[in-house]
Structure 1
Amino acid sequence: MIFAIVGTQRFPFNRMFELIDEAIEAGIIEEEVVAQSGYTEYQPRNFTVIPFLTQEEMNEYVERSRCIISHAGVGSITNCLERGKPVIVIPRRKEWGEHVDDHQLEISKVFQDNGYVAVAESQAELQKLVPCIEELTFQPYVRKQSDLISSIKNYVNSL
């Protein structure tokens, strides 16, 4: 199974679902696809959508998945990486009304540059990545402690 995630912000991400539908119709994706659709209005022809899931339900779908196709939301990406799943990120774009700015391009680049994820911005890239995602080598993801938490720990330890 492939699990697709678009998050819960009030922006639809129709383009991502269109890319997945096209990959299924091209025979690139032959397995079941389930998607957390949020506010996305697109009605898929070839896969199941569930608008909103609890964190527990989300985790269950992630665990059952072969790979994840996700928007470039930090929480969505890190949740999947912490469970050892290969992630293909499709960043939302401001120019297509998918978000207020292009911060998701920046987020996806940072995760990709660190070797954690693969990024697909087009149908060709998605169709190239999906069949071989498990053969790619990714860096193990380890959540880094924030500077604030480190400062608090240092202060408490100094008492």
Structure 2
Amino acid sequence: MKERHDPSSSGGIDRWPLGTADPFATSAAAGGGRRRVRHLRRPTVTFAVGWSRGELRPPDPPRGLRQALQCLPYAYRILREGEYGSLVSTGSAIAVPFMLAARSLGIECHYVESAARSDGPSLTGKIVSRIPGVRLYSQYERWAEGPWGYGGSVFDGFGLDETPAIRERSVGRVVVTFGTMRGYPYRRAVNAVHRLLPEFTTADADVLWQVGDTPVDGLPITSSNLVPARELRQAIDDADLVIAHAGVGSSLQFLDAGHCPVLLPRSVKHREHIDDHQWLIANELHARNLAVSRDADALTVDDIRLALSRRVLHSTATPFALRSDLIDARPGQVDVAAPVTTWSDREQTARRRNS
């Protein structure tokens, strides 16, 4: 039986509602960004938080910086009313207005670049790095230099189960999910998986398809543009195999459930995304043996069998550390030897305040 890690059992956002005595909030995009925050274990301000209050717009397309900046007044009000002492973002456009507002209020800010950025900071990261006083963190030591510190990666908490699983069997439960992003269909991947399904599934296999904006006309499959989050999570937990595009948030969900997923990264060449950052994610997980990554057109049944032969376990990782000194200097003047505060330290402090 697969064991599923429950982030709420170890300080996840569900146990840290906004406005509590813990003066520490996070900002992220809804969905994948929120799952990344769960692995960093903090309460969260997302597009979805304001949306539920009728304040912020629904999530915008990738790099919706102009739309994100329209949230600046709401970010200022949320942070001021919450009386927060610190703010963390895991890398999304919503970080810009929240960190501008936070620094104007004198709130300590930490920007953790997305695990998708293995070769350097994102556009958001470059913008945030110009905001005075924001501490910057890379999840990849190879480019952590200058103002960018290194505190570890969300992927460090996973390892490969050395006990081999059965590779040659046919499976009865498969989840195929290519996200819900509007305007970017991924028919190449749908075609590739459909073509191979008979070679590794039973005749009565239950296959859940979440295809987003991808048309599936002409294919004998039953699919959904959007599967409710709880239903999708349960299907992933119960599945024998997961095949997906290479989003950070969805990949973390698969690893949490013990899967070694088959990742088919979207390609800007085929107009499947705005850039090739999914290849950076997929290549990183493939190098760690936590996923099998292939171009959709090159997918084979051997790739499927390889993923089925692996299981992922939770491993012990060094707690992500934040510099606790308040830096008001210009970007680049970061004292890398400054004292650090770990998540567990902050959780203990918050619990003492609430007791």
Question: TM-score of the superposition, structure 1-length normalised?
Answer: 0.82
| Alignment length (residue pairs) | 156
Separation in 2 of the partners of 1:44 and 1:80?
29
The runs of 5 or more residues in structure 2 that have no matched partner are 1-172, 324-339, 351-355
CA deviation after TM superposition for structure 1 residue 123, in Å: 4.5
Aligned counterpart for 1:37 among listed residues 211, 220, 230: 211
Change (3 A) 1:151 1:16: farther
Change (3 A) 1:132 1:113: closer
Separation in 1 of the partners of 2:316 and 2:294?
23
Separation in 2 of the partners of 1:65 and 1:139?
14
Larger fraction in helix: 1
Change (3 A) 1:158 1:77: closer
1:68 matched to 2:239? The reply is no
Q: Is the 8 A contact 2:258 2:312 kept in 1?
A: no
**What aligned pairs does 1:1-159 form with structure 2 within 5 A after superposition?**
1-10=173-182, 11-24=184-197, 27-31=198-202, 32=205, 33-43=207-217, 45-135=219-309, 137=310, 139-141=312-314, 147=321, 151=341, 153=343, 154=345
Q: Deviations over 1:67-122 (max 9, x none)?
A: 00010011111101101123100000000000011001111001111121111214
The runs of 5 or more residues in structure 1 that have no matched partner are none
Larger fraction in strand: 2
Change (3 A) 1:132 1:108: closer
- RMSD after superposition: 2.8
CA deviation after TM superposition for structure 1 residue 152, in Å: 6.8
Q: Is the 8 A contact 2:244 2:261 kept in 1?
A: yes
Q: Is the 8 A contact 2:188 2:296 kept in 1?
A: no
Identity across matched positions, percent: 20
Q: Is the 8 A contact 2:260 2:312 kept in 1?
A: no
- Say which SS state the counterpart of residue 282 (structure 2) adopts: helix
Q: Is the 8 A contact 1:12 1:41 kept in 2?
A: yes
Question: TM-score of the superposition, structure 2-length normalised?
Answer: 0.39
Larger radius of gyration: 2
Deviates more, 1:55-64 or 1:101-110: 55-64
Structure of greater relative contact order (alpha carbons < 8 Å, 6+ residues apart): 1
